[in-house]
Structure 1
């Protein structure tokens, strides 16, 4: 969550501004996550490019580090920021919540549900297993991502190769085993008979 302190107050965007008629017009040519940043705040409120001090805090569930004007809005997050969370957060915003050891479980679960909704293939899930952004993803979420990939049917050898080379154990070994199984199947299909 971003805000700018200028003229004795905090300037920030909520669903009310972003999804208003004016907000939709201002941000129509911007990517959805643009509204999370300081430039969007400046644009909406017509602030000069260098006006005020920029702040950001990704721990929006810990309201003590936010200005009082935002604390009131964060108290009813879904009413004031729910659409932004659902429509403007990008996958790395959800990753950050999942991997953050300070995030409450309910927020991790919400981030996971958004990944499930937004991902049609397996890309986001192999990243949950293998990437490290600021913290290391817990094994619980890595395992859930692995199970989700299997449930959806891993369609690309690239995914398995990526996991084999980048994921920690046991997921790299699991990916290696699946790659070997696919290779045997491909050889069997080419030769028309089972390998000896």
Structure 2
């Protein structure tokens, strides 16, 4: 595939979605073919699965059911949107990917890293991003942003206790150490312009 696959990762309220939109606009203005998408979601079937996963009514959802739903959504999104875009020489920027499942379900939910990774290898057929940007911000600060932003949806994961979000954060840090050639950290606690410049710099390194 001739395109460039880039993923954004981070805890709740890290700002990655806002920055993704800014980066997409900048690169498109420079003449790049950019596809901006998200997980779970991005295509109709995957968005329906997203609605189920994020619905605050389903607080009793089994952790393995949750992990399987993410993998199913990911598979449909890949074959319907991401792979065709990459084959068409696009830059694909995806808000979340496999790393999210590893830290949220594998680590924070306690399913196990290997179990979740193998599940997602089946779903993705070993497709991984060329570069992953981790938006590094303390979970307490990210959640504060979530509740201060009246326009942002509050989903089922936002309602988890702080210990859960701390496990997610530590999980991301461990992945950064394990995959330093793919995952780069940026300081997401700074103001939006500084975060944007950090991310743009990291993306330009691989274009």
Q: By the TM > 0.5 criterion, same fold?
A: no
Which has more helix, going by share of residues?
Answer: 1
Which has more strand, going by share of residues?
Answer: 2
Of structures 1 and 2, the one with the larger relative CO (CA 8 A, separation 6+) is 2
Q: TM-score if structure 2 supplies the norm length?
A: 0.30
